Amino acid sequence: MKALVVANWKMNPPTFREAKKLLETTRKAADATEHVTLVVAPPAIFLRELRARHKGKKIAFALQNASAEESGAYTGEISLAQGADAGATYAIVGHAERRAMGESSDDTQKKVAAALAANMTPILCVGEATRTASAEYFGVVKEQLRIGLADISSSQLGSVIISYEPVWAIGGEKTMSPRDMHEMAIFIRKTVVELHGEKGMGVKIIYGGAATESNAANMLRDGDVDGLLVGHVSVDAPRFAALLQAIEDAT
């Protein structure tokens, strides 16, 4: 089975020239793999041009964020239809950095449904900000899933990806342990089954939070996940190439 790797470039790099270069080295690294499906989420302003240069190649593109509204007076926003028109087939929804800027779970609910209506695959990000021994983080994740997935039918579950991202791990160098991820993956599946029935067992789950070239293969082997969402390492071309190679070597 192929691992899904989502490269979330966030607000990087500063220029289109650098974005072209980064995509080119990323593409070469991806071409050397057979067991990776790569999705690149560049800043939206670079998307159309990058997509045009890589038509038909092995990379798919994602929006990092989009409005759930179709059109209208929403200064500064872009719509899912505009993103699809520019070449995105995936949309990240509810990333922790967007939630920190005020995006609510109700917003993610609308965006997941709107992305599906626009024929895009939503990547719904969930994850707790902190972890304590009392394990209330399971309740946090459950609530994010309950609200985020409330507007979809069970038949649409196959077109949704859940990215579990413990906020406390994002941006660092150390993931949570694959064993803890395995436990969380079981919990996520159980929760989705409670919400949407047996089809929930097949929901795709990826992990995000400090995925690096050193830990990616272990997480994929032991974390019970279908892939990874990679932030800062995805904009460091040599490190990202090493991460893809580590996955390839392990499969």
Residue 31 token pair: 């071409």
- 165 binds ligand PEP, rule: CB under 6 A: yes
Selection from 121, 71, 68, 118 nearest residue 91 by Cα: 121
Rounded least distance, CB 184 to ligand PEP, Å = 15
For position 167 contacting ligand PEP by CB under 6 A, the verdict is: no
237 contacts 230 by C-beta, under 8 angstroms: no
Catalytic residue set: 95, 165
Stretch that binds ligand PEP, among 54-62, 113-121, 181-189, 224-232 (CB under 6 A): 224-232
Instruction: Pick from 188, 230, 241, 247 the residue near ligand PEP by CB under 6 A.
Output: 230
Q: Is 103 in the site for ligand PEP (CB under 6 A)?
A: no
Nearer to ligand PEP, 118 or 233 (CB): 233
User: Does 62 interact with ligand PEP (rule: CB under 6 A)?
Assistant: no
Question: Which residue carries 């072209």 as its tokens?
Answer: 20
The residue (of 23 and 229) whose beta carbon lies closer to ligand PEP is 229
DSSP at 239: H
Distance, in Å, from the CA atom of 37 to the CA atom of 58, rounded to the nearest integer, reads 8
Residues 177-216 that bind ligand PEP (CB under 6 A): 208-211
Residue 197: C-alpha distances to residues 41, 153, 160 (Å): 31, 10, 15
